[in-house]
Structure 1
Amino acid sequence: MSKKMDPRVVRTRRMLRDALVELIRERGYEKITVRDITNRATLNRATFYLHYRDKLDLLYQSSEEILNDLTESINSSFGGKEEFDFLNDQPNENFINLFEQISLNGELYKVFLTEKNMPHFTSCLMEVLVDFISKGMNIMQPDDQMLTVPREIAVRYFAAAFLGVIVWWLEKDMPYTPKYMATQLMSIAIKGPYVDNPF
């Protein structure tokens, strides 16, 4: 990916991806064909086959591109501990980037995460979240002896919770801003849901 893609190629691929997302939302993945996709994108089939082998290839490449963009976005602001103040009431830039990047492609994430026949995307996003949370926890508390549960359990717990919240946010058509969502998730991950300790 060192070479920049031709803007015309980027535009064509985006048109095909958008057509795929729209059609999955309307009919479900199994019921659509390459012809349906090219008709919706107002492109010919020869153009489609210049870029993709079949609709599954379009699906996988689209998934990879979107998740790579997400990974680059949330990793770009990981810095030293002094820049990563988890105790600040303002959400960390990484959390905001997570939700902003998802909101940029909200319809795609919504369709790919809720379509029953597309578990691959969900599991790949889960791994992105696992890596994201692992890095954050390692910066916040690198000593396993200072955790109340094994690190891998905590990481998976938070990743599953984040994924559930993201799916809910998308299904509700993103009623809150990325910054608001980042603030709430960061708060609940660090302090829990209670104003005062109830125990």
Structure 2
Amino acid sequence: MPNTSNTRGASRDPRARRTRALLRSAVLDLSMEKDLDGITMGDIAERADVNRATVYLHYKDREDLLLDATESTMDGVVEAARACRLNSDTHTLPDTAPVHLVGLFAQVDKHRAVYRRMLGEDGSPRFAARLEQRLAQAWFDQLRAEASPDAFDETALLVRAHFLSGALLAVVGRWVRGEFEGENGMSTAELTDVTWALIRGGG
């Protein structure tokens, strides 16, 4: 998800990169304390120890900064998904959810407020689309690398990768909103096992 700020080119400047990193970190720190909708540019500037004018030099508005900051939370999630090894024969995949899938849910939980906001009904379609694309690309690259050359169907692998990433994103979105909790709800471990069972059978 590229940054749309009109100062995008300044990212080559080490000082600009450091400032952006401070601002992203400020947003994520604040998200642990209050709802994202309640975080103002003034709050962010104060937490990053810069003035408001500096914030606007790097981001055109709060949403621009929010998208950039939340993008930075995706790396751990995508790498955890990439580490959940898939192959063309789903029957050879282990029955037990791999530790990396457990790690994926842990990565999301670390920034639960961010994901609850960005994947909610009034969230960010750009964020959701970007995360889905990155998850699908990670799995597609893996499936393509492991596919037999004489049975390689790139379109089928691409469909499978997007099917799995879209389904996983739907589960994650509902999980962070608490829809699987309650009297008859699931623990995170149970949810992880169910999710892995669906991934195994989703090809």
TM above 0.5: yes
> Match of 1:45, as an amino acid?
R
Select between 124-133 and 163-172 the one with higher mean Cα deviation. 124-133
Please name the residue that 1:155 is paired with: 161
TM-score by length of 1: 0.64
User: Structure 2 matches for 1:1-199, cutoff 5 A?
Assistant: 13-19=24-30, 22-25=34-37, 34-35=41-42, 38=45, 41=47, 44-46=51-53, 48-49=55-56, 52-75=59-82, 77=83, 87-114=93-120, 116=122, 118-135=124-141, 137-138=143-144, 142=148, 145=151, 150-172=156-178, 175=181, 176=186, 178-191=188-201
CA distance in 1, matches of 2:147, 2:97: 18
Instruction: Report how many residues are paired.
Output: 178
CA distance in 2, matches of 1:51, 1:174: 39
Change in Cα spacing, 1:191 to 1:12, as seen in structure 2 (3 Å) is closer
Structure 2 spans left out of the alignment, 5+ residues:
1-10
Change in Cα spacing, 1:162 to 1:9, as seen in structure 2 (3 Å) is closer
Query: 1:128 deviation in Å?
Result: 2.0
CA distance in 1, matches of 2:179, 2:86: 35
Query: 1:185 deviation in Å?
Result: 1.2
> Match of 2:96, as an amino acid?
Q
Change in Cα spacing, 1:159 to 1:100, as seen in structure 2 (3 Å) is same
Query: 1:102 deviation in Å?
Result: 0.8
CA distance in 1, matches of 2:56, 2:42: 11
TM-score by length of 2: 0.63
Structure 1 spans left out of the alignment, 5+ residues:
27-31, 193-199
Pairwise CA RMSD of aligned residues?
Answer: 4.1
CA distance in 1, matches of 2:189, 2:176: 15
Query: 1:51 deviation in Å?
Result: 5.6
Taking every aligned residue pair, what percent have the same amino acid on both sides? 21
Select between 134-143 and 180-189 the one with higher mean Cα deviation. 134-143
